[in-house]
Amino acid sequence: MALQEVCRWSTGSDRHGIYILQRAFIVSEPGWVRPGLETAVSRQLKIEVPLICGAMYPCSNPELVAAVSEAGGIGIIQPLSLVYVHGHEFRQGLATIRRLTDKPVGMNVVVEKSSKVYEERMRGYVDSALEDGIRFFVTSLGNPRWVVEKVHQVGGLVYHDVTERKWAEKGLDAGADGLIAVNDRAGGHAGPKGSMRLLDELGDLGVPLVCAGGVGDEGEFERALRAGYAAVQMGTRFIATPECRASDDYKSAIVKAEAEDIVLTERLTGVPVSVIRTPYIERVGTTAGPVARWLLRGRKTKHWMRMIYSLQALWSLKRSSVRSFSYRDYLQAGKSVAGVRAIEPVATIVERFAAAVVRGVSD
C-alpha cells in the first residue's frame, strides 16, 4: 500500500492518528485479510470483513456503530439518530465512538432538499465528521454532489444508495465512488427490484457494488459475495444485538417475525417503508390517505408534505424504538428477519458471517 494512501486515512484524525497510521501498516501486511473476505470494498475501506452496518434512524447508537467496526466490518453513523434519539451533542457522540474503537467508521447523509434548516445542519455535521477523520460516507435519496465535493477534497469516499440504474447513473455523475444496491427485501425504504436483478443492472458501471436488503444469516452473506457483490450492508440483523439500544420488545419482534410479516407502509413517511405487520397496521392499512397522496403529488406541496411526514416519522420512530412497545408503534425491519433467530452480540454475528465465507472458499 502506498504511503500516500495510508496517510489519506489518518489525515485529520484526532490524537489516535499515529496509532491509526501504525495500524494501517500492520493490517496491510499480506495475509491479513482472510481468504474470500478481500473485495474492492474491504480494500477501499481498509476493513477486515466486507460487512457494513447500515445507518438506521432511530437504531444507530454509538455503541452499535463502534461494535461493528471493532468486529472488523464498518458501522455507519446516522447523525439524527446520534443527536436526536440518543441525546449526544454531535462531536461528543463521535468522541464516544472513538473511545470504543479506533477502526474506520462511516456516516450517512440523507440528502433531503425539502428543508433549508435540515440541509444546513447536515452540511455542518459533514464538516465536523471530516475534521474528526471520518473518510467514508453513505448518501441516500437526493443528489450527493455537495457531499462528494467536500469528501473528495480530503481524499475520502462516498457510496450512494440506489434502487435502480437511473439513480445509479445520477449518483455516479455526481462523483460517487461506489453504489449500495437497495433491493426489495431491505429494511427502511426498500427498492422495487431483487438483489440479483440489481447486480445485473448495475454490474457494468465500474464501481464496487454493495448488496443491501434481505441478508439476515451467514448463508445469504456468502451467496451475495459469491454472486459478485463486493460487500453487504445489513440493518435489521444488527438491531437484534445487545449493543443496539432499541427496546427489548422491538428486538423480540424481529426475532419472532418471518418474511411474510413484513409489509410496506406509506403512512410513516409518505413513501413505502418496511415494517413488521402489527394489529395496528392491519387496522389502519398501509396507504397514505387521499388528501396526503394528492398533496404528495403536487409540485409545490410535495416538499411541504414530505417535511411534515419526516418530522412526524422522526418523532414516532424515536418513541417506538426506545421504550416498550405500544399499540400504535411502527417497528421498521426488512425481510431479513427470516434469518434472525436470536439476539446475539455484534462480534459473534460478524465472526460467524466471516467464517462462513472463509469456509466456503476453502471447501
- Site residues (CB under 6 A) for ligand FMN? 54-57, 59, 78, 108, 110, 140, 161, 182, 185-188, 212-215, 233-237, 332-334, 336
Residues 126, 127, 131: CA angle, nearest 5 degrees: 115
Q: How far is the CB of 184 from ligand FMN (least distance, A)?
A: 10
State which residue, 82 or 130, has the beta carbon closest to ligand FMN: 82
Phi-psi region at 37: left, alpha or beta (left = phi > 0; alpha = psi -120 to 50): alpha
State which residue, 20 or 50, has the beta carbon closest to ligand FMN: 50
Give the burial class of 17: count Cβ atoms within 10 A of its Cβ; 0-12 exposed, 13-18 middle, 19 or more buried: middle
Q: How far is the CB of 336 from ligand FMN (least distance, A)?
A: 4
Residue 161: name the closest of 177, 140, 130 by CA: 140
What is the torsion angle, in degrees rounded to the nearest 10, for the CA atoms of residue 294, residue 296, residue 299 and residue 301? 90
DSSP classification of residue 16: T
Burial track 105-115 (b if 16+ CB lie within 10 A, e otherwise) = bbbbbbbbebb
Q: How far is the CB of 48 from ligand FMN (least distance, A)?
A: 20
Q: How far apart are CA 353 and CA 225, in angstroms?
A: 11
Q: How far is the CB of 192 from ligand FMN (least distance, A)?
A: 15
State which residue, 225 or 234, has the beta carbon closest to ligand FMN: 234
Grid coordinates of 259:
418474511
State which residue, 59 or 296, has the beta carbon closest to ligand FMN: 59
State which residue, 104 or 188, has the beta carbon closest to ligand FMN: 188
Q: How far is the CB of 152 from ligand FMN (least distance, A)?
A: 20
Q: How far is the CB of 108 from ligand FMN (least distance, A)?
A: 5
Q: How far is the CB of 271 from ligand FMN (least distance, A)?
A: 13
Q: How far is the CB of 60 from ligand FMN (least distance, A)?
A: 7
Residue 180: name the closest of 240, 219, 235, 132 by CA: 235
Q: How far apart are CA 320 and CA 78, in angstroms?
A: 17
H/E segment holding residue 349: helix 346-362
Cβ-based neighbour number of residue 350 at 10 Å: 24
Residue 333: name the closest of 261, 281, 243, 282 by CA: 261
State which residue, 44 or 274, has the beta carbon closest to ligand FMN: 274
Provide the terminal-to-terminal Cα distance of the chain, rounded to the nearest Å.
Answer: 30
Q: How far is the CB of 69 from ligand FMN (least distance, A)?
A: 15
State which residue, 24 or 254, has the beta carbon closest to ligand FMN: 254
Find cell 489518518 and name the residue.
10
H/E segment holding residue 219: helix 218-227
Q: How far apart are CA 259 and CA 185, in angstroms?
A: 9
State which residue, 55 or 174, has the beta carbon closest to ligand FMN: 55
State which residue, 10 or 139, has the beta carbon closest to ligand FMN: 139
Q: Count how many Cα atoms sit within 13 Å of the Cα of residue 362 in the half-sphere of its side chain.
A: 9
State which residue, 24 or 109, has the beta carbon closest to ligand FMN: 109
Q: How far is the CB of 316 from ligand FMN (least distance, A)?
A: 13
